[in-house]
Amino acid sequence: MLATRARAPSPTPQELVLGVYLVTLGRGAASSNVYLVGSGEMWTLVDAGWASSAEAIRRAAEAVFGPGARPAAIVLTHIHPDHSGSAGALARSWEVPVYVGAEELPAAAGAYLPQCAMPLDRWVVAPIMRLLPARTRARIEAANSITDVVRPLDPQGSVPGLPGWEWLPTPGHTPGHVVYLRPRDGVVVAGDAALTVDLNSVGGVLLGRQRVAGPPWYTTWDWAAAKRSIKALAELEPRVLLPGHGRPLTAGTAAALHALAQGRPRRAHRRPGLRGLLPRYATSDRYRPPPRLYRRLQWLGVALTWLGLSPRGVVTLEVPGRRSGLIRRTNLVLATHDGQRYLVALAGESEWVRNVQAAAGRVVLGRRRRRRPVTLVEVPAKDRAPVIRAYLLRWGRRPGSTAVTREARVYFGVGAVLTLAEIGSVAHRYPVFRVIPRGHGEEGRTCGPCRTTSRP
Render 148-169 in DSSP notation, one character per residue. Answer: TTEEEPPTT-B-TT-TT-EEEE
Model confidence over 109-120: pLDDT tens digits?
998 888 888 888
The pLDDT value given to residue 1: 43
Bridge partner list, 166: 158, 181
Query: What is the model's pLDDT at position 155?
Result: 95
List strands edge to edge, sheet with 240-243: 166-169, 178-182, 187-191, 240-243
Please report the pLDDT score of residue 270 as a whole number: 38
Kindly state the greatest CA–CA separation across the chain. 80
Cβ atoms 405, 416 nearer than 8 A: yes
pLDDT at 103 (0 to 100): 96
Per-residue model confidence (pLDDT) at position 293:
60
The DSSP string of 120-140 is HIIIIIHHHHHHS-HHHHHHH
Fold observed for domain 275-451: Pnp Oxidase; Chain A (2.30.110)
pLDDT tens string, the chain, 456 residues long: the values are 454 333 344 468 989 999 999 999 987 777 899 999 998 889 999 999 999 999 999 999 999 999 999 999 999 999 999 999 999 999 999 999 999 999 999 999 998 888 888 888 888 888 888 888 888 888 888 888 999 999 999 999 999 999 999 999 999 999 999 999 999 999 999 999 999 998 988 777 777 778 899 999 999 999 999 999 999 999 999 999 999 999 999 889 999 999 999 885 344 333 333 344 445 555 555 566 666 666 666 777 788 888 888 788 899 999 998 888 888 898 899 999 999 999 999 888 888 999 999 999 999 999 888 899 999 999 999 999 999 999 999 988 888 888 888 888 878 888 878 899 999 999 999 999 999 998 644 443 333 333 333 333
Q: d(Cα 311, Cα 378) in Å, to the nearest integer?
A: 25
First to last CA, the chain: 46
Amino acid at 135: R
Asked if the 14-261 domain carries CATH number 3.60.15.10, the reply is yes
pLDDT, tens digit (0-9, with 9 covering 90-100), for 229-239: 999 999 999 99
What does the alpha-carbon distance between residue 67 and residue 213 come to, in Å, rounded to a whole number?
A: 38
Domain ranges within the chain, ordered by starting residue: 14-261, 275-451
Q: What is the pLDDT of residue 456?
A: 30
CB atoms within 10 A of CB 347: 19
User: Alpha-carbon distance 455 to 288, whole Å?
Assistant: 12
CA 406, CA 325: separation in Å to the nearest integer? 36
Size of the chain in residues: 456
